[in-house]
Every structure is written in C-alpha cells, then in structure tokens.
Copies of this chain bind each other. A is one copy, B any other.
Amino acid sequence: MTSPVDARTDAAAVTEAFALLIAGELVAFARLADDAANAPELRARITLSRMAAADLEPMAGLEEHVLGLGVDAPVLEEQTWQFRELLAEIDARTVPRDWWERLVRTYIGYGVFADLEREVVTGLSGAAGELGRSALADGSLTDVTVAMLRPAIEADPQLGARLALWGRRVVGEALGVASRLLHSRPVLARLVGIPVGTPGAADALAAVLGRLTSEHARRMKRLDLTA
C-alpha cells in the first residue's frame, strides 16, 4: 500500500519543482542576455536577446499557480533564489574563451537543465504537471545554437576537437550541479523517482544521471562532436 498523499506535502513538492523551473528561466535569461551582449554580429545578438526574453514567458503562470496553492510569496522566492545560485554555478566555473565555447556552454547547460527539469515535472500530476510541461515545451534554443555552431565546426576540424573537449568540461559541471541538487533536495529527488532513504536511492540517482548523460551525447552528436 502506498502512503496517502498529504495536500501540504503536495503543495511543497509543487513549490519546489516550480521554484526550480523559475530559477532555470532566470539563469537561462541571464546567460542568453550575456551571450547576446557578446555576439559578434547583429542578427545573432537580436536572436539571442529574443530567446532570452521568451524564456521568461512561463514565469508568471508558474508563480501564480504556486501562490494559488496558499504558499507564501517569500517561501517561493527564497527557494527560487537558492536554486538560482546553484544553477548559476556552471557559469562561474566554465568561463568561455571565445564565442564558440560560449555557445557550446549555453547549448549544453540549457540542455542538461531542461532535461533535469523535465524529469522533475514528470513527478507532478494534474494541473501542475500540465503547466510544468508546457513551461518546458519550447526547445527552439537548441535548434538555434545548432544552426550557429554546425557550419563553424564543419569548416574547422581543429575547432571541433577543441569544442568536444570543452563540452566534456561543461557537461561535467552541469551533471555535478544536477547531482548536488538531487542530493540536497529530497523533495525533488522523490519527484524524479528516487526512493530517498532506501537502499535503492544511489542506483536510482545514478540512473537519472545516466539518462541526462545519454541525452547530452545525443545533443553533441547533432554537432558532430563526440561526448
């Protein structure tokens, strides 16, 4: 027999999940805006600025949903702030040396975090699950960065080799963040299906990280790079 769902626990889970999504949007906004500011030409600058702006669109709906559950705004804000700091670690730890490394960082960081968030949202049911899925639905950034990166990589094998190495460093940091997040947040860990506090927890966490790694490898393949 499974334990009965407690409405308060449920609100806590939705709050934590949506705080993660809002934090993800803020971090993606800041990273893309910074990329835009460093873009070598106008078209890339406009495209990335707009992508950054689009990232904020689901935020108001997520916030509203959490507050509608009776959660106090400062509770949501405190959690969002903490997640934001954790997610932003990848940017502090991987400083790109040029435009291409910058784009690869954005491509990988965005991809891994979006996959992680999708895993978290899978654990939500009902209206919250639907809202979470729709907030994560826009994958156009991936296509945009691939379209910018592929021609450069095809034209210069040395660049490709360097970016493959760089990609390994970036994904290492991203998976590190994901792992720290699931270790320190039992509520999120349970949402992705980890039986926290049981002997199966370590294997289940490894399985999640394994899925994130496979998705990453698939993304690198789109750039013709080995993960």
Contact = CB atoms under 8 A, between A and B. Distances in A.
Interface of A: 26, 29-30, 33-34, 36-37, 41-43, 45-46, 49-50, 52-54, 56, 59, 77, 80-81, 84
Contacts of A56: 49-50, 53
A29 B50 CA distance: 10
A101 to B, nearest CB: 20
A34 B9 CA distance: 37
A26 B45 contact: yes
Contacts of A43: 77
A54 B52 CA distance: 11
Nearest to A78: B42
A111 to B, nearest CB: 21
Contacts of A84: 42
Nearest to A60: B50
Contacts of A81: 41-42
B36 A30 contact: yes
A10 to B, nearest CB: 24
Contacts of A41: 81
Given A30-B33, A33-B33, 14 more contacts: A29-B33, A29-B36, A29-B49, A30-B37, A33-B52, A34-B37, A41-B81, A43-B77, A46-B59, A49-B56, A50-B56, A52-B52, A53-B53, A53-B54
A117 to B, nearest CB: 18
Nearest to A73: B43
Given A33-B33, A33-B34, A26 B46 contact: yes
